C-alpha cells in the first residue's frame, strides 16, 4: 500500500533502516484495519517524495511487527515518530494535517 519511496519496515530491518540511518527517518506506525491510517497514507507518501534524499520515510504494520511498536510505547495509531541519529526526536498521534507532519520533519533538518 506504500509508494515506492516509502520503506516497508518490520521488526527485522528497523535497526538497520532507522536507528543506523545517516538521514532523519519518519516512521508511520499503522494497521490495515485503521481508517485514520488510511486517511493519512497519501500525505505520508507525498512527504516521502517531497523530502527524498533528505529524509527517509518508512511504515511499520503494528499487526505484522508487534515488537517495534511495543519498544516505542505505541498505544494509538497512526503514530508517526521522527528519528534522527538513532533517537526519537518527536512524534504525533492521529490523522493530522500535512502541515503538522512537515513541521515535524523540519525539526530534524
Q: What is the sign of the dihedral through the CA atoms of 66, 6, 32 and 46?
A: positive
Q: Grade residue 4 by pLDDT with cuts at 50, 70 and 90.
A: confident
pLDDT tens column, 14-69: 999 999 999 999 999 999 999 999 999 999 999 999 999 999 999 999 999 999 99
Block residue for cell numbers 513541521: 103
Q: Hey, what CATH class is 6-106 in?
A: alpha beta
Please indicate whether residue 78 is annotated as part of the active site: no
Q: What is the sign of the dihedral through the CA atoms of 17, 81, 105 and 88?
A: negative
In the beta sheet, which residues pair with residue 21?
A: none
pLDDT tens column, 65-88: 999 999 999 999 999 999 999 999
Coil, helix or strand at residue 62? coil
Looking at 25, 26, 27, 37, which residue is catalytic?
37
In the beta sheet, which residues pair with residue 93?
A: 79
Looking at 6, 34, 57, 60, which residue is catalytic?
34
Q: List the domain boundaries for the chain.
A: 6-106
Answer yes or no: is pLDDT of 2 > 60.
no
Closest by CA position to 2, among listed 26, 22, 18, 24: 26
Coil, helix or strand at residue 91? strand
Please indicate whether residue 86 is annotated as part of the active site: no
Amino acid at each position: 500500500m506504500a509508494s515506492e519511496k516509502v520503506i516497508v519496515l518490520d521488526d527485522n530491518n528497523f535497526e538497520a533502516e532507522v536507528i543506523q540511518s545517516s538521514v532523519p527517518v519518519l516512521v508511520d506506525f499503522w494497521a490495515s484495519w485503521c481508517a485514520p491510517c488510511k486517511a493519512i497514507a497519501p500525505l505520508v507518501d507525498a512527504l516521502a517524495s517531497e523530502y527524498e534524499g533528505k529524509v527517509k520515510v518508512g511504515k511499520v504494520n503494528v499487526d505484522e511487527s508487534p515488537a517495534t511498536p511495543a519498544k516505542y510505547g505505541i498505544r494509538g495509531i497512526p503514530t508517526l515518530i521522527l528519528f534522527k541519529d538513532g533517537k526519537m526526536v518527536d512524534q504525533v498521534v492521529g490523522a493530522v494535517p500535512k502541515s503538522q507532519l512537515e513541521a515535524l520533519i523540519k525539526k530534524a533538518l
